[in-house]
Amino acid sequence: MTVRLRDALRSTAEDVRTYPVYERALATARRSRRRRLAAAAGAVVLLALAGVAVPLTRTPALDPAAADAALPDRLGLPPIGALHVTDRPRLGSASVIFSGPAPRLRGWFDTSIVGLVGGDSDRYRIVRAGGDAAAGESIHLSPDGRHLARPDGDQGEPGVDVVDLVTGRTRHLTSSVTNTVASTPVGWFADSASLVVRDEVPVAFDGATYTSVLSIAPLEGGRWTTLASGAQEARFGSTVAAAPGRLAYQYGHTVAVVDVQGRELSSFLLPDESWLAGKGAWSPDGTTLTLATRRPATGDWTLRQVDPRTGRDGEPLRLPAVTGMVSVRLLGWTPDGSALVAAHQQDGDAPERPLEEQTGPPATAEQASSVRVLSLTPGATAPRTVLTAPAQVNAVDVADQVIRGGRVRDAQPPGGVGGRFWLWTALVTVLVAGAVLYGTRGRTRRWLDDRRASATDY
């Protein structure tokens, strides 16, 4: 090779732009590390969100009985995106459940949504139920406020679902009634250890008529104890009232009293225009039952006590009458002797009930437009409202422990949006951001490479 050629090659090589091997390798390593860190951060975020969305099976250390349980003086609709009872943080014991046709209490395919309020604060949760589930009629809060019983919505083996509000777990109690097609909880025993369930059994193959079967279902599982059965029209278990060691239930115009083993202790016929008052029909000492009587002339409702063995009138109750309501349900008795009743307002847009139904049982929640809880204090001239509800909330149930506590608190129902709204918003944001970054990764890489190449030219 001549000196002239060597010099020409050297001059040409000096004019060629060199490749920054070390700088490029360092940049690639840093980029890879940033990607790994971003992926790890994304995985952590997704796991955190999944931890909120997916209920865990561990039992949290919560006290099932809130020491400061009190009745809120007003209800609000659950916020948009409210947490479910299976979500964390758990609700614990509840003070009130409520339902109705309000927009936030209806789900997809016209399913019912039942709202729950915490025992000692305005923590709201929701639970999905059947299409026409009504609080206090087909979905019930246990006396201690810890469990919620609802009809089984999975259409599998007939039975009822019991949701533990402390652990978030749902237990299915399979019906022991032969050939049943539907099971509905109608009440609790006073110790919260057993349910009263009504089953519907078709009489004929085509299912044109049904027999109602009333049973005791232990919460811990086991064989159900049959209480009674009869024609569906008798409305078996239309009202169930529990006292320690005893249970009273109504079917047709008869009230029966049984013990915890299902043995009938007594029964009596109801007078005209009278019905077992509600789940709180037993007096606090368990010696008398309370009937709700409707005055045909005015439509007013009054409460009176009767002997549970004979149905004869007991000592008169000096409680004010409830006026202007289509039906009332006695929820229980406070320490000062006041009766708490759920009073249902007539739905003005609903068609008038047929004449034969106007003399029949009281209207159900679906025939009412709204509900409020009234306190009937002995010697008072008029009822006092202790709980109000929004329009189109037409059914409530209150935990017995809250009623016995006798406390009413100033409520501040939550507004805005709930935890699930923020959960899904964060999740969608993360997913969209991840999709955008992944889709533009090539363009971003080329842009970064061009910037680095430009920087090495200077």
d(CA 383, CA 369): 20
Percent of the chain with pLDDT over 90: 58
pLDDT at 452 over 80: no
Alpha-carbon gap, residue 158 to 147, rounded angstroms: 19
% helix / strand / coil in the chain, to the nearest 5?
A: 25, 35, 45
Over residues 42-65, the pLDDT tens digits come to: 554 555 455 444 443 333 444 444
Structural element, H or E, at residue 28: helix 21-53
Is pTM beyond 0.95? Reply is no
pLDDT for the residue 236: 84
Nearest to 77 by CA among 47, 109, 37, 104: 104
Please give the share of the chain, as a percent, with pLDDT higher than 70. Answer: 79
Contact 119, 93 (CB under 8 A): yes
Average pLDDT over residues 18-43: 60
Domain boundaries, the chain: 52-417, 418-458
Q: pLDDT by residue (tens digit) across 286-318?
A: 999 999 999 988 989 999 999 999 999 988 899
In CATH terms, the superfamily for domain 52-417 is TolB, C-terminal domain (2.120.10.30)
Q: Is the pLDDT of residue 149 over 70?
A: yes
* 84 secondary structure, DSSP code: B
The closest alpha carbon to 330, from 260, 411, 248, belongs to: 248
- Residue 72 and residue 184 in contact, taking contact as beta carbons nearer than 8 Å: no
- What mean pLDDT do residues 237-249 have? 94
In one-letter notation, the amino acid at residue 202 is: P
pLDDT at 2: 75
Is 378:46 a contact under the CB 8 Å cutoff? Answer: no
**Cβ distance 395 to 60 under 8 Å?**
no
Confidence of residue 37 (pLDDT cuts 50, 70, 90): low
262 pLDDT above the threshold of 80: yes
More confident: 75 or 104? 75
Tell me what pLDDT residue 56 has.
37
Instruction: Return phi, psi of residue 266, to 5°.
Output: -170, 170
**pLDDT surpassing 80 at residue 206:** no
Predicted confidence band at 221 (pLDDT cuts at 50, 70, 90)?
A: confident
